[in-house]
Amino acid sequence: MKILSIGNSFSQDAQRYLFNLAKHEGVSLTTENLYIGGCSLERHHKNMLENSPSYTLELNGQSTGVLVTMKQVLESVAWDVITLQQASYASAKLETYFPYIEELASYVRSIRPDAKIFIHETWAYEDDSEKIRATERYNTAKEMLTDIQKCYKTVAEAINADGIIPSGTAMYKAIELGIGKIQRDTLHASLGAGRYLLALTWYKTLTNNDVTFNTFNGFNEPVTDREREIIIKAVNEVVK
């Protein structure tokens, strides 16, 4: 399976372990991420129109240091899955998605008509953080996530997406189950448990493989047995 994300640092978090996790499970899977930190759909759309070489290409969770255009990468491989997402700070604001995501989806399909388009659902900021209060003045992650979920559901229907990767829902479920801190700066995923949860969410969503007994352990920060247990439970509850 070949996966391309037109994303930002949140897809970077999600892809960090995905290739190696799949390899550990005996699954052939490659990932590429078109990376610009904090990149919004509006900026992706502008880059698309201008064919701008503004993206740092990330391959299998690692930066190549090579700058590329969206068109260049779309044309380079017969992608099986291509993901789209909004920047985290705009993910709860439906008006920020249009017309950009519709035109991006149309562009992707014009070049890769056989690829499946998945929406990558981003996650909420931590409760009571400065970031969350600055985003529509939310007080809790649950409040922000509720609006994020509504937006991505609406958008997925609008572009006839093949599915939603429920990263934000899985992240919050792990918090509800008592995992503790899973974000490293109140917004990005932690380098161990957070990124592991995202990789497992993507892996199960896109392969439909069982993750109950996953033992992948190639992390940049330690993941405890308790964290692993909660993460697997959260992913299994969210990804049916």
pLDDT in tens, 124-155: 999 978 888 777 778 899 999 999 999 999 99
pTM for the full predicted model: 0.97
Distance, CA of 109 to CA of 81 (rounded, Å): 11
Give me the helix-helix angle, 193-207 and 167-176, nearest 10°. 130
CA atoms within 13 A on the CB side of 151: 28
Percentage, residues of the chain above pLDDT 90: 94
What was the pLDDT predicted at 51? 98
Query: Which CATH code is given to the segment(s) 2-238?
Result: 3.40.50.1110
Show me where the domains of the chain are located.
Answer: 2-238
Give the residue carrying structure tokens 């990330």.
58
The 10 Å CB-count burial string (b at 16+, else e) for 98-127 is: eebbebbbebbeeebeebebbbbbbbbbbe
pLDDT at 14 over 80: yes
pLDDT of 19-69, one tens digit each? 999 999 999 999 999 999 999 999 999 999 999 999 999 999 999 999 999
